[in-house]
Structure 1
């Protein structure tokens, strides 16, 4: 996998300066979501490298300029400003995180730049429709609602909800509440947790003390993994469900011996479901690079398919405005068994949602 281009690594500037089409990314290359970010970006590079090897888009190669924001929203906004105003990228791509994406919105408006496939399912990026945001995944609210609905069908009603104290957490909480409302009962306990440093010594007794049968955990990466470990250390067998932002093999590894049985919602088909052309194609390219496809990689791969098509439709020497206009022409664009559609009134793109469970082999099972 190519090295990420971080803000501090100015010595690498010539590597991207010669690219014909520059695409910018700010994400937590280091920090609590690093594993997922690296897998998602690796998945995108599978398709971008494939396209570049064939001569690029309309004869122009694509270069992804990635900057590390350490999963800090203020740094994400600062990085985006550099990418847009100094690096002159044509579009932003695979920005990771809800508060991070929200912090960048004013820059999109000011410079007319598209943000393609933000790696978040935040409702605020879907409704009301933002002219410059093009989502390629379902919302977190739909995922959380589906999680509660699934637990209810299993006869589980003693459900705790843990959510991060940021816009992502409150968004997921809202979806979970919709699920509870439809099912006709209330959560056992709702716990707000510090996004970066959750207080497990306080949280876990609140869950175990009420004898929770399940926990819907709306947080990111290690914040969830460490929480699951703490829950198991307290001898709780509660079923844990978390969202697709944790659908990476890195997340599974971080869970260690506590991985088996954790449910993770998914917004793309199973990464081994070759009935989908998207998956079969991605598996082939991953095999060429001797890597194993993961759900997070598949998200990045699908995002890259949409990015490339938008650039192709924008024509030679695509401008920011041309890319925005071109993306809105996508109507039932088949990326391999899934159709992506945008219009002036809808920038959701895809609305696929499913559930998976981590097996004893550390793989996601459907």
Structure 2
């Protein structure tokens, strides 16, 4: 006859095994998606808005039972806008949390630190929130872009300023891979219009020296400046210009990383007239089915305010979910990569996304907006 202690031991073993099985089933019931992004730091305002859009769509999908009966769980880690931490977060998400994909990383140098981890483990990165050309060409089979490229944005910005009749245009850009990429696109625009920038100025990513930058722009008799940097860096730069009599009317253009209501708030009284390139149609353009869908969900969830950044998150989440749907039940890293790679056509709601063997670009939409006195993006 077994002793009471051995019986208890076997009972504990059985219960432990049962809990382990139940625990594993619980984890497997969720589709784990990882994200490293700047929840805090100089771009936190726009990141917060993209996450609003992401959650608006993912929550609606989960409330209806998820994808193929499985709910999506997004694990978001804060990289504080530090490239090194972004790479460490990506490694943790892939190797420890066992996510099947990474999603909406933020910024160019930060996303570059993620690439080796994608390659090592065969993990897809869906909708990086950066338009850097390095993620478009040469084609990385594991990176699935949704938004258009920064080079397309800055090229169009230069062409627009040329059409408007500005004669002396400057380029101020953050001194990193993001800034260099935007400069490359701008130079394409200058070449196309047979034009040259009056001056090109590099700015420190963390502490731009406005006391040095603004006098250089004034001395060069600049009429318009394309300013590339974080929302904090650009908004502070605009404020510095507006405080200078000879520069207060200088036209400022920036790109879609600053297409958020948070950026407008940071500009304060200096907001009026700032031009921001956009990679999605106006959120108020209800001719687009994706905008009607987002507006209905926003109203049902406490009147979430839509913005270009919210719509980027919303659209990106739609692409992720469609990839998961096509990957079938119990999606794996390999199945999701294959499903996305084979997604030749997907209608986001008036916007078409498609990928192929030599194409991971997604959308090619670029537009210009101007901030009015009331703090709205006008098209």
TM-score exceeds 0.5: yes
Aligned equivalents of 2:155, 2:181: Cα separation in 1:
11
Cα 1:17–1:193, aligned 2, differ >3 Å: closer, same or farther?
farther
Structure 2 counterparts to residues 134-283 of structure 1, below 5 A: 134-235=144-245, 236=247, 237-283=249-295
Unpaired stretches in structure 1, ≥5 consecutive residues: 1-15
Instruction: Tell me if structure 2 keeps the 8 A contact 1:164–1:193.
Output: yes
What SS does structure 2 have at the residue aligned with 1:59? Answer: coil
Find the partner of 1:66 among 62, 70, 76: 76
Structure 2 counterparts to residues 289-304 of structure 1, below 5 A: 289=301, 290-304=303-317
2:372 — aligned with what? 359
Aligned equivalents of 1:221, 1:184: Cα separation in 2:
30
What SS does structure 1 have at the residue aligned with 2:114? Answer: helix
What SS does structure 2 have at the residue aligned with 1:286? Answer: helix
1:6 — aligned with what? none
Shift in Å, 1:17: 5.6
Query: Greater CA radius of gyration, 1 or 2?
Result: 2
Query: CA offsets, 1:201-233, max 9 Å, x none?
Result: 000000112221100011111000000000111
1:306 — aligned with what? 319
State the Cα RMSD in Å: 1.0
What SS does structure 1 have at the residue aligned with 2:276? Answer: strand
Shift in Å, 1:19: 5.7
Instruction: Tell me if structure 2 keeps the 8 A contact 1:19–1:63.
Output: no
Aligned equivalents of 2:29, 2:69: Cα separation in 1:
12
1:284 aligns with 2:292: no
Find the partner of 2:128 among 93, 103, 118: 118
What SS does structure 1 have at the residue aligned with 2:334? Answer: helix
What SS does structure 1 have at the residue aligned with 2:361? Answer: strand
Shift in Å, 1:332: 2.3
Aligned equivalents of 2:299, 2:214: Cα separation in 1:
41
Moved over 6 A (4+): none
1:338 aligns with 2:351: yes
Query: CA offsets, 1:257-303, max 9 Å, x none?
Result: 00010000000000100000011111111122221100000000000
Aligned equivalents of 2:151, 2:29: Cα separation in 1:
38
TM (norm. structure 2) is 0.91
Instruction: Tell me if structure 2 keeps the 8 A contact 1:157–1:185.
Output: no
1:21 — aligned with what? 31
Shift in Å, 1:241: 0.3
Instruction: Tell me if structure 2 keeps the 8 A contact 1:165–1:193.
Output: yes
1:4 — aligned with what? none
Shift in Å, 1:124: 0.2
Query: CA offsets, 1:80-137, max 9 Å, x none?
Result: 0000000000100010010011111010000000000000000000000001000001
What SS does structure 2 have at the residue aligned with 1:347? Answer: coil
What SS does structure 1 have at the residue aligned with 2:355? Answer: strand
What SS does structure 2 have at the residue aligned with 1:65? Answer: strand
1:78 aligns with 2:88: yes
Aligned equivalents of 1:309, 1:220: Cα separation in 2:
31
Unpaired stretches in structure 2, ≥5 consecutive residues: 1-25
Aligned equivalents of 2:372, 2:230: Cα separation in 1:
20
Find the partner of 1:318 among 331, 334, 358: 331
Q: How many residues align?
A: 351
1:55 aligns with 2:55: no
Aligned equivalents of 1:110, 1:146: Cα separation in 2:
36
Query: CA offsets, 1:163-199, max 9 Å, x none?
Result: 0011000000000111111111110110000011100
Aligned equivalents of 2:316, 2:27: Cα separation in 1:
23
